[in-house]
Structure formats: C-alpha cells, structure tokens
Chains A and B, each alone.
Chain A
Amino acid sequence: MRRVMIGVGNPTRGDDAAGLEVARRVRSVETHQQSSGSYELMDVWEGADEVIIVDAARSGAPAGTIHRFDAHDEPLPGGILATSTHSVGVMETIEMARHLGRLPERVVVYGIEVSSLTPGAGLSTVVEDAVSELVMEIDRA
C-alpha cells in the first residue's frame, strides 16, 4: 500500500509553513512539499492508496488547533483551509479530483490553525507544538 503525505504552505510566511514543516519531519511515509494546493497535487498523489494532506487553517479556532477531516466520502467544510483569489486551494483540488475520479481510496486532511503569517517569521510556539504532535500522530499510524 502506498501512502503519500503532502505538506502545503509558504515557507516565508510564518505559520503558513506548518504543513511544509510536518512534511520535512515525518519519517514513516513518502513526503512532498508543495507551495500551493493547486491541481498539481493530483499528479503528486497519483497511484497512491492513501494521501495525507497538511495545510494551514484559519477558522477562528485557537491557534495550534489541529483539525482533521476524512475527505474521501464528503467535501471538506468551507472556510477552514486557506483560500486565495490567486490560486486554487486544497479544497478545490480535492473536489476537482472527486469529479474526475482521481481521489485515492483514503484522503485525510489536517489543518493546523495559524497564529501569525508575518513575512520572514518562523513558526509560532503554539504552531510548533502542533507540528510536533501531528508528526507523531502520522508516524504512529
């Protein structure tokens, strides 16, 4: 069984890099780091039985909260993951893949609630803790 983990984020925008950092640390599965959640993700997970996606989230929950969704059977709830007027996001890509029959058997999406998106800053302490927790969770599975 092929499991693929994809971290999505911008390495230069503070906590937005959370997904990338998880991908950098996870050891138990094949990892990929992507700067956006656009349609190219479908090529990255092509042929995988399970894909785990980690992205930054901004839903209003306390910073560091880890949201978990099983996206194979139903769409992700709106307004959690980052969206942009400039590019397609993870949510749109998953829905596109669903229509095209290109979703793996299992699709798990984690959103890490961000605190600061300051350009040039590193991860905030609470998000750093959430990253460590999620890395352990993925490696344990």
Chain B
Amino acid sequence: MSVEREIAVDYLARVEGEGAMYLKLKGDEVIDLRFKIFEPPRFFEAFLRGRRFSEAPDITARICGICPIAYQTSACNAMESAAGVRLPGPLRALRRLIYCGEWIESHALHVFFLHAPDFLGYESAIRMAADFPEQVQMGLRLKKIGNQIMALVGGREIHPINIRVGGFFRVPTKQELRSLVPDLEWALEAALATTRWVSGFPFPEFERDYEFVALQHPDEYAIHEGRIASNRGLNISVDEWGEYFEESQVSWSNALHARRKNGGSYHLGPMARYSLNSEQLTPVARGAAGEAGLGSRCGNPFRSIIIRAVEIAFACEEALRLIDAYTQPEAPYVEVEPRNAVGHGASEAPRGTLYHRYAIDSEALITEAHIVPPTSQNQLSIEDDLRAYVPGRAHLPDDQLQWQLEQAIRCYDPCISCATHFLDLTVDRE
C-alpha cells in the first residue's frame, strides 16, 4: 500500500524574497504540488497610474535591488517605443554597458553565494567560505566589479539614479570608462576560472524539453532589446506579447502565473538565452562554454550555473568591447516627446525576459501599467520541473527530498520580490 506523505518548506533559503513549497505524495505519485509565493503584493502597477511617463524608470527600479537596471531599461524601452524614439549609438552602448554590470553583479551573487553551496553540500555561503575562501573572495570581487560599472554609469549601484527615458542625465567620459578596464580584464579571467570550477560540480541527471523564450537580436547576444523568440518557432515583436502569452491568478501565489496562450509553461533565463543565442556569444565566452562541455543547447536546469558563469565572462568581454568603442556623445539624452500611445518594452533581466506595457494619455500621464517579471513567468516551469523531478526520487527520506527540491527551485535564481511585484516547503506523503 502506498503511504501518503507531505513535505512542506515554510521559508525557502537562498532565494530573494519570501516563498514556500508544498508537496503531497502517494508513493511515487505527486498528488499536489505548489510553489507558493507569499511575499505580499506590492501594487506597483496601481501606483504608476497617474504618474508622468518619465517617472516609470525610477519608480520601477524600486521593484528590485538586484536587477534595477532591468526595470529601468524595460520601462525606458516602452516609453521610447511609445514615442517612436530610438537611442543613437553611444547612448545605446551605455545602456548595454550598464546592463553588463548588472549581469556580472547578479550572476556573481547567484553563482557563488546562492547556488554553489547546493552542489558542495553547504547550507550557506558563509559555511562554504571556510573551505572555499579563494572562490568566495573571487565572487565578492566579481560582484563588486559589476557594481562599479553600475555606479559609474548609473550614479550608484542600487536603484541607479542616472537613467532616464531617452538616455542618461550625465554620460561618463571615455577616461572614466577606461578606469574600469583593469578590473574587467581581471574579471574576465575570474569568470573563466569560475566556469571551470562550476563545470566540475556533480549535476543530477535531469532534462526537460522546455520551450525556451528569450529576446533575440540579429547583431548581438540580446540583453537590452530584441524580438521575443522561442525554440519552437515563436518570433514576435515585443508589442505582440499579449497575443501569445497570458497571465492568470492562482490561490497559492501572490504572483500571477504566466503561460503560452493555448499552451503551457515556458522557460526564461540564462538557459533559454544560451539555447537560442549561444552562437552570438563573444569568442572567449563561447570557448569557455565549449570547454565546460555545454553543447548548442542545455536542458538540465542544474547546469544553468555553468551558463551563468559563461554569461559573466560574456558580459566582461562585451563591456570591454563597448568601452573600447565608446565615443562620448554630445548630449546625454535624446528628447522624448510623449504622445497618447501604448508602449511595450522588454529586456533580459539576469533571470529572464522582463516585459513592460504602458498606456500614456495626451497629458503624458500613465493610465495603465503592466509589468511581467521573469520569476512570475517561470513559476509554472518550476512546478513542471518539480513534478518531473520527484517520481524517480520519491523513495528518498523527506529531508533529502526536500533539499533536492529546494535546489531545483534555486536553479531559477527566483526573485520573489520582483514576482510579487520564495520558499517555505511542505511535503505531504499519503
């Protein structure tokens, strides 16, 4: 006779924000599974209404202390698209450069402090630091270098203040940007060492056939703009998001679930970007991916830590290239004349595609705001992963099963604060 059992994690550790997990099992069979986001709703979309279009980047930056650039960029893209404005070369390059800083900072945080302890068997990065001090120091310095880019271009690293619709309030001089070069050269080498280190971790045998969704750009590994593409033939402009994706509310999450219209879950983030766009990686990063044993795509979410390390290398190389090619523009921004229109914007937050949509009236006020963060879009994929992961491992004792399931969730680098605008696990066994 199968025994029912329940596993509940009340507070998920090493995720950003407040979430939980509940699992009910009967023998090998999953009877109920919920990835719960109980962080309180934050009502950003509601309080953006009535604010000026130009305020959206600064207000939405406050949604996340780790990926504010993603919010600012998606908001700027939406407002500029509503006004029919495109950034000229150097301003576009700066927007990409500051985003590279955010990728380095956010990925370093996840790889070294949130994810690596899972593979090495530590409950926290602090415990891991006793045995792996060199790696932890490397992670700290990488994170700091990402922050330095954000501070130099954005005025400060958390919730930068120098970004505006149409560009920046002030642009850095070439000399200021050059000051980042020695650190970025060190960071590129460190990212390669990191890729080698994490590719040697023990990874569970687990693969799923995901629909990967990410931005795609004809000329570059998409970060701050592009079309929305998938490995199943989707290729749409950002304006068309609402025709292909939909959101719904579930009782166990304060974050809306997103799915493909007439379809199911899809997967956002480093694995999606890599699987769609790896040929556009910079040469050194691409070499590192090959050396780490990554093929042209990756369907094992646990191996996403390798891709994050590769993306750190990419972001360093790309930042160095952008700095080298930079010419200080005459004006720090282009004028954006607001008009009565709807604007859509998207960019690749470290955790995946972040979509914004705003309706603006003739007074330049926001009448409607719609923000779809990557973690809320990944919720369904996380639940699908857990449902697929449990059956072969249901024999494990509760504590081991729980530990493995928490790890499966952390592969997504979930940012629950963003999604509500993560985890407490319960396993029920029957």
Q: Provide 17 A-B residue pairs closer than 8 Å at the C-beta atoms, listed in order of the A residue.
A: A39-B140, A42-B140, A43-B144, A85-B11, A85-B16, A86-B16, A86-B17, A96-B126, A96-B129, A96-B136, A99-B126, A99-B129, A99-B130, A100-B129, A100-B133, A100-B136, A100-B137
Q: B129 — which chain A residues lie within 8 A by C-beta?
A: 96, 99-100
CA distance A100 to B16 in the complex (A): 24
Give chain B interface residues in 123-147, CB to chain A under 8 Å. 125-126, 129-130, 133, 136-137, 140, 143-144, 147
A85 to chain B, nearest CB (A): 5
Q: Does B72 contact A (CB under 8 A)?
A: no
Considering only CB atoms, which chain B residue lies closest to A87 in the complex? B65
Interface residues of B (CB under 8 A from A): 11, 15-18, 65, 125-126, 129-130, 133, 136-137, 140, 143-144, 147, 158, 417
Please state if B133 and A99 are interface contacts (CB–CB under 8 Å).
Answer: yes
Q: Shortest Cβ distance from B223 into chain A, in angstroms?
A: 24
Residues of A within 8 A of B158 (CB): 35
Which residue, A39, A85, A99, A100, has most C-beta atoms of chain B within 10 A?
A: A85
Q: Which 10 A-B pairs have the closest CB atoms?
A: A99-B129, A99-B130, A95-B126, A96-B126, A85-B18, A100-B133, A96-B129, A100-B129, A39-B140, A85-B17
User: For the complex, what is the distance from the CA of A86 to the CA of B11, rounded to whole Å?
Assistant: 13
Least distance between B275 CB and chain A CB atoms (Å): 30
Residues of A within 8 A of B16 (CB): 85-86
Query: Given A85-B18, A92-B126, A95-B126, list of 17 further CB < 8 A pairs?
Result: A35-B158, A39-B140, A39-B143, A40-B144, A43-B144, A85-B11, A86-B65, A86-B417, A96-B129, A99-B129, A99-B130, A99-B133, A99-B136, A100-B129, A100-B133, A100-B136, A100-B137
Write out, one digit per residue, whether chain A residues 28-51 have a CB within 8 A of any chain B CB (1) or not (0): 000000010001101100000000
- Say how far A47's CB is from chain B's closest CB, in angstroms: 16
Residue from A35, A86, A96 within 8 A of B125 (CB atoms)? A96
Closest-by-CB residue of A relative to B417 is A86
Question: Once the chains are docked, how many angstroms separate the CA of A95 from the CA of B123?
Answer: 14
Residue of A nearest to B15 (CB): A85
In whole angstroms, how far apart are the Cα atoms of A101 and B140 in the complex? 14
Cα A96 to Cα B132 in complex, Å, equals 11
Which of B11, B144, B147 is packed against the most chain A CB atoms within 10 Å?
B144
Kindly list chain A residues whose C-beta atoms are within 8 Å of the C-beta of B130.
99
Cβ of A101 and Cβ of B144 under 8 Å apart?
Answer: no
Report the minimal beta-carbon distance from B88 to chain A, rounded to whole angstroms: 34
B residues in contact with A99, CB < 8 Å: 126, 129-130, 133, 136
Q: How far is the CA of A99 from the CA of B126 in the complex (A)?
A: 7
A102 to chain B, nearest CB (A): 9
Within 8 A of B (CB), among A59-92: 85-87, 92
Contact with B along A14-29 (1 / 0, CB 8 A): 0000000000000000
Question: In the complex, A39 Cα to B136 Cα: how many Å?
Answer: 11
**Residues of A close to B140: CB separation below 8 A:** 39, 42
A39, B138: Cα distance in complex, Å: 13
Interchain CA distance A96-B128 in the complex, whole Å: 9
Report the separation of the CA atoms of residues A96 and B143 in the bound assembly, to the nearest whole angstrom: 15
Mask, A93-114, CB within 8 Å of B = 1, is: 0011001110000000000000
CB distance from A119 to the nearest CB of B (A): 13
User: Within the assembled complex, what's the spacing in Å between the Cα atoms of A90 and B326?
Assistant: 39
Q: How far does the Cβ of A98 sit from chain B's closest Cβ, in whole Å?
A: 9
Closest residue of chain B to A91 (Cβ to Cβ) is B126
Residues of B within 8 A of A86 (CB): 16-17, 65, 417
* Nearest-Cβ distance from residue A127 to partner chain B, whole angstroms: 25
Query: Closest CB-CB distance, A101 to chain B, in whole Å?
Result: 7
A86 CB to closest chain B CB (Å) equals 6
Residues of B within 8 A of A95 (CB): 126
User: Smallest CB-CB separation from B156: which chain A residue?
Assistant: A35
The chain B residue sitting closest to A99, CB to CB, is B129
Select the residue from B18, B126, B133 with max chain A CB neighbours within 10 A: B126
Give the distance in Å from the alpha carbon of A104 to the alpha carbon of B367 in the complex: 53
A residues within 8 A CB of B137?
Answer: 100
Contact residues in A for B18 (Cβ distance below 8 Å)? 85
**Closest A residue by C-beta to B19:** A85
> Which residues of chain A are near B133, meaning CB under 8 Å?
99-101
Minimum CB–CB distance from A117 to chain B (whole Å) comes to 15
Q: A39 to B129: give the CA distance in the assembly, Å.
A: 13
Residues of B within 8 A of A43 (CB): 144
